[in-house]
Structure 1
Amino acid sequence: MTVSNRAARTALIALAVVVSAASVFPVLWMVTSSFKTRDTVTDGRLIPSDVTFQNFVYVFTEVPFARYMWNSFFISAVITVAALLFHSMAAYALARLRFPGREAIFLSIFSTLLISAPVVLIPLFLVARQLGLLDSYAGLIIPAIFNAFGIFLLRQFYLGFPRELEEAAIVDGCGHWRVYWNIVLPMSRPILSALAVFFFLANWNAFVWPLVATSNEDLTVVQLGIASFQSQYGSNWNYILAAATVAALPMLALFFAFQRQIVESIKTSGLK
């Protein structure tokens, strides 16, 4: 390795360290601050914060935060499972089956990526109200299932599949459904795992649509719960940070559990 290559490699490593530190610092600050009490002033003296677990006790006792987390988990899990099933079927049909209008359908689906969420928020609300989906789990789940990015990514993934595997299965008497269920899905685990993390994370952090579609406190999701903390306890940041830490822990655990699948789905086509 030449001197210039070593210098470039050292510079890249230093840049990666700086970027990583800048990314991790807010998370570390949030976690450490969630265990501290608020600074107080008594008789003109500043009393520094102390380490305590009471912030987390307060979060789970004063408000139904466990209910908020269950709502977010249930909604995100159902959306993720349904989206992966329907998206994989649609992507396989668009990648392998030949039927009139296939390219036009794919172009229409892909074009929805150019439309931002605020543009369709009011029409989506009107449709959901007309169908009686407001203030219900169905209203939070059904509109969030469709995702053009998932269909596009899976279609591109299936286009790289060797056709010989499918042709051999068809020769053995398998239909398209059995080929999809017994061959395509098992070989799609890396990219499905990555998409599962992306979908679950996106719906766990959903804020605008749950805010618009629900007014029932029993359907409050975790992000709305944290927002309510900010309005009620704006000066007590220790409670807000404790709630944010609890909400972030499942996402961090999910990422560390599936980080290998995420990297493999991006690095390779999923075939060995």
Structure 2
Amino acid sequence: MSSFRPLDDIFKFISPITWRTFIPTHVTGEAYVSLFTERGFGRTLFNSFFTAMAEMLFGLLVGSMAAFAFAFFQFRGENAMFVLVLITFMIPFEMIAIPLYSLVDQLGWMDSYTAIIVPGIENGLVIFLYRQFFMELSPSLTEAARLDGASWFRIYTKIIMPLCKPVTLSAGLLIFVHQWESFMWPLIATRSDQYKVIQVALSDFTTEFGTYWN
């Protein structure tokens, strides 16, 4: 209801509480017009949805394949490498923001979708979830498939992944929400309005002298 009020009326009827508190006396769509014309919020919504979907799809692919290797292959340094994977989602992002910025800048990715998406594709928590799920599957599934001549890629795509829909759904939501709510890294990695995401755009409504609440 407040989004249909003029900015000056936002706090006008808060006390005492009456019907005017909940129903605007002067209905206006000025805030929405400003949002999608002057502020370009349509582009902002697209950026957030596109980056969140891309990071979710690539994150699920990379995370599930890495977890598949940890669960079904044995190689030197496996445990140490898995510990490193676990450490990655325990480190606060603020600690790696500056070196990550330097790396992305050296690669020439600044102010692009690549800069927003690629650093978040590897997710240690997603790898952990998939690996734990894969470890609970019966080894006879892969053994029977290998005896029948199936390749590891075929086992991954045709046998293992169809069985892990619950963890895929959970991990997908985890990645999507994390990217949708991301603020610091998109703020650091992008400069132009062309790649601005929703959280950064919302922060622009808070100015030095006030906030555009409507």
TM range (shorter): 0.7 to 0.9
Of 80, 83, 92, 2:68 maps to 92
Identity of aligned residues (%): 36
Runs of 4+ in 1 over 4 A off after TM superposition: none
Pick one of 106, 130, 133 that aligns with 1:154: 130
With over 3 angstroms needed to count, the CA separation of the structure-2 counterparts of 1:203 and 1:51, relative to structure 1, is: farther
Q: Which residue of 2 aligns with 1:81?
A: 57
Amino acid at match of 1:146: E
Is 1:50 aligned to 2:25, yes or no? yes
Which residue in 2 is equivalent to 1:228?
204
Contact 2:47–2:195 (Cα < 8 Å) also in 1: yes
**Could you tell me whether the CA contact under 8 Å between 1:37 and 1:50 is conserved in 2?**
no
Shift of 1:234: 3.0
* Count of residues in correspondence between the two structures: 202
In the alignment, does 2:14 pair up with 1:33?
A: no
Deviation at 1:236, TM superposition (A): 3.1
Residues 161, 52 of structure 1: alpha-carbon distance in 2 compared, 3 angstrom cutoff: farther
Q: Counterparts of 2:128 and 2:28 in 1: how far apart (Å)?
A: 45
Q: CA deviation at 1:133?
A: 1.1
Gaps (5+ residues) in structure 1?
1-31, 42-46, 239-272
| Residue of structure 1 equivalent to 2:141 | 165
- Quote the offset at 1:146 in angstroms: 1.1
Deviates more, 1:109-118 or 1:200-209: 109-118
Superposition TM-score, scaled by structure 2 size: 0.87
Distance 1:143 1:160 in 2: 30
Unaligned runs of 5+ in 2: 13-19
Q: How does 1:117-136 map to 2 (within 5 A)?
A: 117-136=93-112
Give yes or no for contact 2:205–2:211 (8 Å, CA) kept in 1: no
Contact preservation (8 Å) 2:6, 2:28: no
Q: In structure 2, how many angstroms separate the alpha carbons of the residues matched to 1:234 and 1:62?
A: 18
RMSD over equivalenced CA pairs, Å: 2.0
Looking at structure 2, the residues matched to 233 and 184 of structure 1 have their Cα atoms a distance apart, in angstroms, of 56
DSSP-derived class of the 1:215 partner: coil
Equivalent AA in structure 1 for residue 193 of structure 2: E
TM, length-normalised to structure 1: 0.69
For 2:51 and 2:139, the matched residues in 1 are separated by: 36
